[in-house]
Structure 1
């Protein structure tokens, strides 16, 4: 199958990002595997190559470093001239100590927001011009059920600070989708579920293979699909 669409996935050298790259490569998309660590990114490409995928390529990108993002954008612009799908997947957990907001370190909170929120925002801002050149531009922000204020008020949670950073990411989704509502952009947040990855020291209850279906779905949606929404495998998730 030849699709000839390009995808950039941040934080794609492992976990959800890597599996998303694999599944989209299977569908015929050309994947730019974003990794802030060149050696880990190279290892991911080699692993994908061994699985039979040649439609994959490394893009070195650190979403917390604007210069790194600009260089990645320049590199991708030289290679392809446009971008069809941006998946803002790179994220950190903020640690497994208490994340109660009355005591959580401001320094750690800033690190969380630098990656999970500001990283996604500045990456999107830099790549938006390449996305505008696509006939069907798609942006998928990988969020979390912990971002849902409705969910948080009815459940006893532990990762409050992490949830706050993802709530901000969801607000970005809404704002950006509103800005581009009269265009062919489709911009959504997704909740993959509690998945066993390095992010949570592999404590999740589902595999990455099971989790990334929701990411792939909203990366490949058609023109009749919704925008500015928050989804999980059961449908729309409450903000």
Structure 2
């Protein structure tokens, strides 16, 4: 199956009004809610109904799904090296200002001490990791060469990637290349700056971009060399931690990568 273009990211919510207000405060444009079609719910294996809120940030779309049949809340013991950890990287020209807005809107930090600038060997970006009020991880990200990467303007600009933690780098690279993504140049991220960003002690991580034919956004693999952090049982589709990457593809289907991260086609 060819995965050529990311159409949207879908977050599961049990508190849609809270999350709509949060993402609106960050600069997302929020549309009116609409029912999720029965055929899609059946494909997902979810009984009962559901509602979807569509939100735009630049050219990117994030959708909030709320189901009548609720799953588990976001697990409290998940850290930045846990397998179910999956964050959206939101690009901004001013990380400090964006973090101030997010904090005022109710976002708790993951990073230890505010935004941090990584060394050039790790990309030289300025970033901070945080959670939305329901627990979904986010990263606010500013590039030193933003214009060269196609990011122009001020404020919140769009979504660069979705980063997922993987247990076996080679196995995950093989899965995504088999679905037509291209493996980009990997970096080895470590040191005090990475520790502050992740809120972890002495992390060492391979960061591997996996790029679809049409990007951004793309998928980023995070392979931590230490033992994975605590994680829950594999997520069910209606669990709050069950973020789905939605791909433009003619066939409606749900698939999981080797670590159980969810992808939906036909969206």
More helix by share: 1
Larger strand proportion, structure 1 or 2?
2
Fold similarity call, TM over 0.5: no
Give TM-score scaled by structure 2 length.
Answer: 0.32
Q: TM-score, normalised by structure 1?
A: 0.34
